Amino acid sequence: MAFSTSNPHMVRVLWARLYDADRRPRARVIATLTRDMESLYPAPVRAYALELTLRGRAAAYLCISDDRGDILRGGRLANLAGACGLPEDALVEQLLETLDALLPHRDRAPLVLPMVALSDEIAVDVHLFRAQGRSWVLLLDVSDDAATRRRAQQDGYDKELQLGRSEKIISRYLGGDLARFVVGSGSSVRDVAARRVLTILFADLRGFTSFCQGRPPDEIFGTLNAYIGVMIRAVHRHGGAVDKVIGDSVMAVYGLEDLGDDAPQRAVMAGVDILEGVSALGRQRASAGATRLEAGAGIATGPVMVGAVGTRARRALSVFGHPVNMASRLQGAAGAGELVIDAITRAAVRDALAWSDERLTLKGVSSIVAHRVRVA
């Protein structure tokens, strides 16, 4: 009976019939296989395939008795161990530990474990098969294939992040609103640019610079993170996006999504929340003997540019324009526990806060009418 190796099913049948009941190779079947291979493939192809699989893949093998008392080894096992930076015995021990649950291999059909990592740089395909009453382990070096696959995966991740199509990935870097804005615009982080009317909020801690004097870094950063956490949670609670955190200052954006025209209202509510939350945390820390810090906040509304800023290696979505500068200046004019907003924001807000009107002259800004309220 002749078996054609061009038929995968027949290959499996051939493998099942390759050994007799005592697992001894059937010489007649092996001879048939050899003749079949010779009839299908000319000598140059067979030689090339042999070179490719045995030498090109640095083929190594183990031949293991069922009680593991007798282990033969050969092929290019020493080369493989050297590439892993291990003594040969250590590599054999590592392989036996990896294959522990699969040995002895008594199935007629082979078992293939693809791309098993032996080290950070070396991976092998492991072929387990039964012959001569023993378990055979054939190792074929596929390190180049594994490295290519890792590079392809990394390129895919990088491209996905660069193109900004995955909101889940982008939101880790930009926050929910900015991520949804990028995805919704149909653009990438690299290309997105738009003019929008947004409300900008700045808030920072008062007295933090003097607080840092003479204190250990762990206390400084522990305190900063506690207060900044209060600010960020307040921003998110009212549907805002944190654009950036610089030292003890937070910049947030409202209105990126089409949620109606209540961006100024939500920004003011967030500002009040920030001041009340920081004040509450300050009182709590003071009762425990720690220094109490306060915050001030400023808000402005108007047309801004939303776009990607930076180089190819490091690019981030940012917001810039006159309202950004205005909000920063208003925050600087706010005292501890105070919120100061511009006239555009005030006209869009309906609340019961006790606003006071005043004219301010701010750096880089002409004299304006601002509105101030003490919250905490």
Residues 235 and 262 in one domain: yes
Whole-structure pTM value: 0.53
| Per-residue pLDDT, 6 | 42
pLDDT for 63 equals: 95
Residue 9 domain boundaries: 1-40
Cα dihedral sign, 332-236-354-350: positive
Residue 312: CB partners within 8 Å, gap ≥ 6? 190
250 lies in the same domain as 360: yes
Cα separation, 222 vs 216, whole angstroms: 10
Q: Tell me, yes or no, whether 222 and 266 share the same domain.
A: yes
Q: Give the number of C-alpha atoms closer than 13 A to the C-alpha of residue 3, restricted to the C-beta side.
A: 19
Looking up residue 90, the CATH number of its domain turns out to be 3.30.450
Domain shared by 97 and 187, yes or no: no
Q: What is the pLDDT of residue 289?
A: 87
Q: Over the stretch 229-245, which tens digit does the pLDDT of each residue have?
A: 999 999 999 988 888 88
Between residues 289 and 35, which one has the greater pLDDT?
289
The CATH number covering residue 175 comes to 3.30.70.1230
Give domain status of residue 48, yes or no: no
pLDDT digits (tens, 9 = 90+) for 301-359: 999 988 766 665 556 667 888 999 999 999 999 999 999 999 999 999 988 888 999 99
Strands, sheet with 111-117, edge to edge from the N-terminal-most edge strand = 71-75, 60-64, 134-141, 123-131, 111-117
pLDDT grade for 7, boundaries at 50, 70 and 90: very low
| More confident call, 41 vs 223 | 223
Q: How far apart are CA 255 and CA 267, in angstroms?
A: 9
Q: What is the pLDDT of residues 109-156, one digit of tens each?
A: 888 888 888 888 888 889 999 988 999 999 988 887 766 666 656 665
Q: Are residues 168 and 150 in the same domain?
A: no
More confident site: 54 or 232? 232
Q: Are residues 293 and 368 in the same domain?
A: yes
Task: From 183, 193, 176, 181, select the one nearest 160 (Cα to Cα).
Answer: 183
Asked if pLDDT for residue 3 goes beyond 60, the answer is no
**35 shares a domain with 10:** yes
Q: Are residues 221 and 145 in the same domain?
A: no
Quote the percentage of the chain above a pLDDT of 90. 35
Question: Is the domain of 223 the same as that of 361?
Answer: yes
